Amino acid sequence: MTFLSICSTETIKSAAQSLKNGHLVAFPTETVYGLGADASAPQAIARIYEAKGRPSDHPLIVHIASIDAMGQWATEIPGYAITLARDFWPGPMTLVLKRSDLAQDFITGGQETIGLRVPAHPVALALIQEFNAIGGKGIAAPSANRFGAVSPTTAEAVAEELSPYLLEGDLILDGGPSLVGVESTIIDCTGSTPMVLRLGAITPLMIEESTGLVALEANPAAIRVSGSLNSHYSPKAKVLLDVIAEPGDGLIAPDQIPTPNGVIRLSAPGTIEQYARELYQALRSADQRGLSVVVVLQPGGDGLAAAIRDRLQRSAFVE
């Protein structure tokens, strides 16, 4: 069965109807590909958890078309959250807010909060808008991979990993490679000041410049969010950080680092942005090549580099 579809106006309309009919639609965002379902349909949401092998108490992020839809899903929205939404939506930022009656336990993992995002990808926005036009309220979409595995940044990666778990009527929309390459920044907006629960392309400094408030980095113990487990974003290959690669190992390192003899170069990014964009595909490539070890030299610095290190440390975590 073929699930992969090149995007067109008609395809997006068909995909929106598929969502309304309770099917799953994987779609591109600027961060990674998401596995979408009708956020107000419990049976459709249950299929996301089943396809991913995801624990049911892990909440899902709801993707909405614009800032205007925040009030449908959330209550008691603080002024700084509105400021963040105006400054960074559409974009790679998820806001965690107190939930409205529309956000039920099956989407929040039983928590009293909801994560909302407006993605900055034309296909994602067109899909959400078409879905709204036929009565939809929002699209729930975690990353389109098996739980704990490497997030997909291409439609082919989604098909490779999830096709065995998709059914007739499900779709994968191909919108090209994701431009950011790591998941959205998650910000807890339920208190008097923003708290960063997951690092991403929207950095603490950017949050502070936007709101005038210091963005604290929090251990998300009180609020469960995507990608917060110690072990996550993991390929089958063992990931080793900041060691010398041996012959037969894969290597991900900045372009100024030479490749030792016998080592398989998986990525040589020249910028932090390129590092983030290529990271997950490079980790997937290690598994496709049957490598047992991937050595990664982590980037230094703040901002997006810190988000990359967060993902790498989780991918390398050993119990």
> Got the DSSP string for 268-312?
--SSHHHHHHHHHHHHHHHHHTT-SEEEE-PPPSSTHHHHHHHHH
Q: Which domain covers residue 258, as residue numbers? A: 238-315
pLDDT (0 to 100) of residue 208: 97
Q: pLDDT tens-digit profile of 228-239?
A: 555 667 899 999
Instruction: Give the dihedral of Cα atoms 18, 150, 59, 26; nearest 10 deg.
Output: -10
Asked whether residue 32 is assigned to any structural domain, the reply reads yes
Asked whether residue 227 is assigned to any structural domain, the reply reads no
Q: Distance between CA atoms of 200 and 185, rounded to whole angstroms?
A: 4
Pick the last residue of a domain from 156, 184, 217.
217
287 with 148, same domain? no
pLDDT (0 to 100) of residue 1: 46
Asked whether residue 159 is assigned to any structural domain, the reply reads yes
Pick the last residue of a domain from 183, 217, 251.
217
Q: pLDDT tens-digit profile of 58-85?
A: 999 999 999 999 999 999 999 999 999 9
pLDDT at 150 over 90: yes
Q: Please tell me the total count of domains within the chain.
A: 2
- Burial zone of 14 (CB within 10 Å; 0-12 exposed, 13-18 middle, 19+ buried): middle
162 with 114, same domain? yes
Asked whether residue 231 is assigned to any structural domain, the reply reads no
247 with 178, same domain? no
- The CATH number of residue 179's host domain is 3.90.870.10
198 with 254, same domain? no
Mean pLDDT (the chain, rounded): 93
